[in-house]
Amino acid sequence: MDIITHLNGSSAGIASAADEGPPQGPDAWGADVARSVWESFSDALDEPSFHALLARLGVPSVEGIPESRVAEEYLIFLLWTHTRAVQLAFAGRAAPEVMNRTLDALHRAVYSDLREQGTPAAEIPLLEQRLAARYVEYGLAARKSDREVGRLAASCLGDTWEIHSEEAIRELTARAVALATPIKDYLQDLLESTPRAMRNPEAP
């Protein structure tokens, strides 16, 4: 899936919300998190440090643009870190079905953005399958340690399990934490200001 070509160097789905109020409900929350995914993806492409990271992993690029496999793996990494942030934010603050609706909305928004930017519809189910497999791997890694998440990300981006760059592993570990923490904090604050009936519809 050639994400960078389809996006034409831009970040799909990003819309300024400066003059809007806070999003309300799972669909809006998921769409909001999807915007953060694309902002993070676009920002990485403009970061010299990100390209230096890929170089340490031996990832080829042309004029600073990584190959499509790497772009997809980084998108998956971003989706997992944002999914993890949602899970941590909602734990104990909202009903599981509300969290799941938010995650469904997040992924629907990302897939919709990809289709709008030219990704063939037939490729989306294939991405979903790869995403599901990676989520299992990242979930298992997260149960061990943050560093294990960074090591897995380095292995996936570098397309090999033999990653010898400890610096690259540390940087990806730090990226995972740096990406998830502000989203988690933002959602926690949002949930605290949301009526209980919206957070837990089944509660008496």
pLDDT, one tens digit per residue, over 112-139 is 999 998 999 999 999 999 999 999 999 9
Residue 7 forms part of a structural domain? no
Confidence at residue 29, expressed as pLDDT on a 0 to 100 scale: 94
Q: How many domains does the chain have?
A: 1
Residue 32 forms part of a structural domain? yes
pLDDT tens-digit profile of 166-184? 888 899 999 999 999 999 9
Residue 109 forms part of a structural domain? yes
Residue 2 forms part of a structural domain? no
Nearest to 99 by CA among 203, 204, 198, 5: 198
119 with 1: CB under 8 angstroms?
Answer: yes
Residue 130 forms part of a structural domain? yes
203 vs 186: which has the higher pLDDT = 186
> What is the b/e burial string over 24-33, where b = at least 16 CB atoms within 10 angstroms of the residue's CB?
eebbebbbbb
For the chain, count helices (H), then strands (E).
9, 2
How confident is residue 203, by pLDDT bands cut at 50, 70 and 90? low
Residue 157 forms part of a structural domain? yes
Residues 6+ apart with CB under 8 A from 53: 168, 171, 172
24 with 198: CB under 8 angstroms?
Answer: yes
Q: Could you identify the residue written with the tokens 């809007």?
A: 20
d(CA 113, CA 11): 9
pLDDT(71) > 70: yes
pTM score, whole prediction: 0.86
Residue 42 forms part of a structural domain? yes
Domain that holds residue 165: 24-199
Residue 11 forms part of a structural domain? no
d(CA 201, CA 14): 30
